[in-house]
Amino acid sequence: MATITELKSAVRDTLESRGVLGQLKARIRAEVFSALDDQREPRPPLSHENLLINELIREYLEFNRYKYTESVLTAESGQPDVPLDRQFLASELKVTEDASSKSVPLLYGLVSHFLNSGDKGGKVFLRGSSLPAGPTASNIGPGSNA
């Protein structure tokens, strides 16, 4: 007869070999974050910029099979459960893709563009977004003038 330790080990090995153990751990982490999240303090509205940034990160995480990190990102950020359509995301970012670029996350293409651009000065001038430096519930969201 198997001991409790042997049984635990067999269950763990089976769950790992099926790829389920990591998913269970991620789901537990997401539920723990949700339980610890102070529901009395409302989360600031998800700004358009944060929605796009989170979606770029989510696409990258999914591509690299960082499923657990992606599940925590979605739970903590308030990002919609259903990912944004890639064509919509590319359109919002004013990105045109070819067939080869569609096989990798948009974030790879954006980084590659900046690394390989033949800009004379070698630098890209970035302007501030519509988000303030220190986001708070009262000054984030669509229409903020900060």
Would you say residue 99 has pLDDT above 80? yes
**Structural domain range at position 63:** 46-116
Question: Is residue 56 assigned to a domain?
Answer: yes
Residue of 55 and 78 predicted with greater confidence? 55
Q: How far apart, in whole angstroms, are the C-alpha atoms of residue 29 and residue 20?
A: 14
Task: Identify whether 7 is part of a domain.
Answer: no
Flag the least confident range among 40-44, 58-62, 74-78, 107-111: 40-44
pLDDT(46) > 80:
yes
The pTM (predicted TM-score) of the whole model is: 0.63
Mean pLDDT, range 114-123, rounded to an integer: 71
Q: Is residue 126 domain-resident? A: no
Residue 21 lies in a domain: no
Integer Cα distance of 54 and 142 in angstroms? 16
User: Which parts of the chain fold into alpha helices (H)?
Assistant: 4-17, 21-36, 48-63, 67-77, 86-92, 106-116
Q: What is the pLDDT of residue 79?
A: 87
| Number of separate domains in the chain | 1
Q: What is the CATH number of the domain that holds 103?
A: 1.20.960.40
